[in-house]
Amino acid sequence: MTSISQSQLTFQSGNKPIRMDVYVPDSPGKLPAVLALYGSGGGVEGMNEPATMLAARGFAVFVLHYFDRTATTRVIDKQTIFRNFPAWGKTVWDAINHLEQHPQVDANRIGLLGFSLGAYLALSVASVDPRIKAVVEFFGGLPKEMRIFMRRLCPVLILHGEADPTVPVQEAYDLQKLLEKKEIPYDIKVYAGAGHGFTDEDWRDAGMRSLRFLRKHLNDSDTP
């Protein structure tokens, strides 16, 4: 089994120190990288499992503490999201700048993995940043405002619960429609009966779909 090195690094964004948890496999050469973005609960702990899974399969994974930019711990109201969203997006952009310089990262193979609020951020940044080659988004969407400003979009994997009470499944279908209109490659899986979060079986399925999608679009040739 691949050995994984875990550490934490810090970089500057908006004159604030921003942390990233780093999961890097013991593999030679430059690696495809995944920048992971948690949801509004700020649950860094919940990112350990997907980060470890991807790192064990050859990806350099970086979990971004983007709330550090605004001294936020968790978000419970839309006003806070609207107020801070641009700063968080700039933090994601600056994090990618940092990843491009990382000695173990292939700067041409960077993808984003976002959950809920993190998925909205991932799609928003990817709609203007050509350095992002793939997005895996769990129960998120593309903000309507970003559809006006979008310059491009990369391949997207859409994963959503049919009965999501927090982010309606219509967000997934709206994104699907946009991607089809723009002729951008995508995959979509809507989980029957699932809410804002998945059962163990759905998580496993979503995890394997994420792995296959990232391998395909970040040109990772390793076998499962």
Give residue limits of the domains in the chain: 4-217
Top-confidence residue, 99 or 220: 99
Give residue-wise pLDDT tens across range 27-43. Answer: 888 999 999 999 998 77
CB 72 within 8 A of CB 84: yes
Residues 162-212 pLDDT 10s: 999 999 999 999 999 999 999 999 999 999 999 998 989 999 999 999 999
- Overall average pLDDT of the 134-138 stretch: 98
What pLDDT is attached to residue 41? 87
- What pLDDT does residue 149 have? 85
Q: Are 121 and 67 in contact (CB under 8 A)?
A: no
What does the alpha-carbon distance between residue 210 and residue 208 come to, in Å, rounded to a whole number?
Answer: 5
- Measured in residues, the chain has a length of 224
Lowest mean pLDDT among 16-20, 74-78, 96-100, 130-134: 74-78
Determine which helix (DSSP H) or strand (DSSP E) holds 93, and give its type and residue range: helix 78-100
pLDDT bucket at 1, cuts 50 / 70 / 90: low
d(CA 83, CA 214): 31
Mean pLDDT of 52-78: 93
CATH architecture of 4-217: 3-Layer(aba) Sandwich (3.40)
Task: Check residues 221 and 77 and name the one with the higher pLDDT.
Answer: 77
